[in-house]
Amino acid sequence: MSPKPGGAPPALALIADDLTGALDASAPFAARGLRVSVALGPDHVAAALARAPDILAVTTASREIDPVSATAAVRRAAQALPPMRIFKKVDSRLKGHIAAELDALSFDSALAAPAIPEFGRVVRGGHVEGFGVDAPIDVRAVLGHHAARAQVPDTVTQGQMAQAVAASGADLLIGARGLADALAAGMTGNAAAATARLPGPCGLFVIGSRDPITLAQARALRDRPGTVFVGAPNGHAPALPRASCLLVQALPGERPASGTEVAANLAAAVLPLLRPGMGTALLCGGATAEAVLARRGIHCLDVLGECLPGLVVSSADGLTILTKSGGFGGQDSLLRVADMIDKGRP
């Protein structure tokens, strides 16, 4: 894609209810050569716009709050944006306050396409079904009164997703990674998605998620020759060593602690290692990523793409940051990341 004229607004704005969702939906655009910036909250949209991105994303951190507050958060994000087409990123299983968040957006018609055919999660007959979906989810029921203005096409394949995008004249797009991938392909003439590189010399793996998938991945990395493991009860850890592969993992403590508290403790522990040129830092779990970035004073990310499907690579303040949701990936995902960092060493 040719460079965007100076001063022109981004071609598309993504509004997501959590950070990992914003990054996941942004990655297909970056992987095809578009400039993508993510604002970590509505207050940081202006800073992200100053980077002159082709695509801008903003997280409202509204997945776990009440519906009224979610509406207000999305309204703040929308008001911070210049006039442009909006992509309301939603969870592919339609979790969160989707109807309430749509109340904050002005639109005439919408394309609602939350499927991710690549992962076996599809929309058929107006319902989300497939991988990870116990019972079909009625898309129109989740949209509430907004359903009257929404198209909900079957999207069982990525080809059908591309056709839906091409045929729709909707001014609001509602979807997840599958829709983002179709939009990115269409905007770039079906350019191939490139794999993002992970630089060395060091790999720092910060694991806050307790998802069983992540725990299995961490066990595999811990057994890898050369990995230095530091257990962090409730996120607390002593002064951390420097190592070519350092795994810092939150463990249960002697007393109960909230996820927010654990994430804050982990962020404090790893902060001294987050220096420009240190290599690659993998942040696993949405709360962990948000806490570490906030502690480091990072409010905008430039998305570079993915190193593996669903593992998003970004840069900020001289750091390369890799984010992964807790329940994503195969058992060898962290091992593969460690090997990529090894290959990226000078």
Each residue's pLDDT tens digit, 102-154: 999 999 999 999 999 998 999 999 999 998 899 999 999 999 999 999 999 99
- Taking the alpha carbons at both ends of the chain, their separation in whole angstroms is 31
Dihedral sign from CA coordinates of 52, 55, 60, 61: negative
Percent of the chain with pLDDT over 70: 97
Whole-number pLDDT of residue 8: 78
What residue spans of the chain are helical by DSSP H? 19-31, 45-49, 67-80, 98-102, 139-143, 158-167, 177-187, 212-222, 259-270, 286-295, 333-343
Question: What is the DSSP pairing of strand 55-59 with strand 12-16?
Answer: parallel
- Are the beta carbons of 285 and 326 closer than 8 angstroms? yes
Q: Helix (H, G, I), strand (E, B), or coil: what is residue 151?
A: strand
Q: Is the pLDDT of residue 72 over 60?
A: yes
Dihedral sign from CA coordinates of 173, 177, 179, 183: positive
Q: Which two tokens stand for residue 117?
A: 């055919």
Least confident of 6-20, 59-73, 284-298: 6-20
Summarize the confidence of residues 322-342 as an average pLDDT. Answer: 91
Q: Is the pLDDT of residue 1 over 70?
A: no
CA-nearest of 329, 311, 330 to 321 is: 311
CB contact burial 256-281 (16+ within 10 A = b; e otherwise): ebebeebbbbbbebbeebbeeebbbb
What is the band of 4 on the pLDDT scale with cuts at 50, 70, 90? low
Q: Is the pLDDT of residue 99 over 70?
A: yes
CA-nearest of 316, 243, 162, 5 to 153 is: 162
Question: What is the DSSP pairing of strand 311-316 with strand 279-284?
Answer: unpaired
Taking the C-alpha atoms of residue 292 and residue 4, their distance in angstroms, rounded to an integer, is: 32
Whole-number pLDDT of residue 147: 98
- Other C-beta atoms within 10 Å of 141: how many? 12
Instruction: Give kind and range of the element (H or E) at residue 321.
Output: strand 319-324
What is the band of 200 on the pLDDT scale with cuts at 50, 70, 90? very high
Helix axes 259-270, 286-295, angle to 10 degrees: 50
Phi, psi of 116 (to 5 degrees): -130, 80
Cα 22 from chain centroid (whole Å): 4
Q: Compute the residue count for the chain.
A: 346
Mean pLDDT (the chain, rounded): 94
Q: Considering the entire predicted model, what is its pTM?
A: 0.91
Domains (range + CATH), the chain: 12-187 (3.40.50.10840), 202-343 (3.40.980.20)
Whole-number pLDDT of residue 329: 82
Taking the C-alpha atoms of residue 257 and residue 235, their distance in angstroms, rounded to an integer, is: 9
Q: Helix (H, G, I), strand (E, B), or coil: what is residue 284?
A: strand
Q: Is the pLDDT of residue 3 over 50?
A: no
Whole-number pLDDT of residue 266: 97
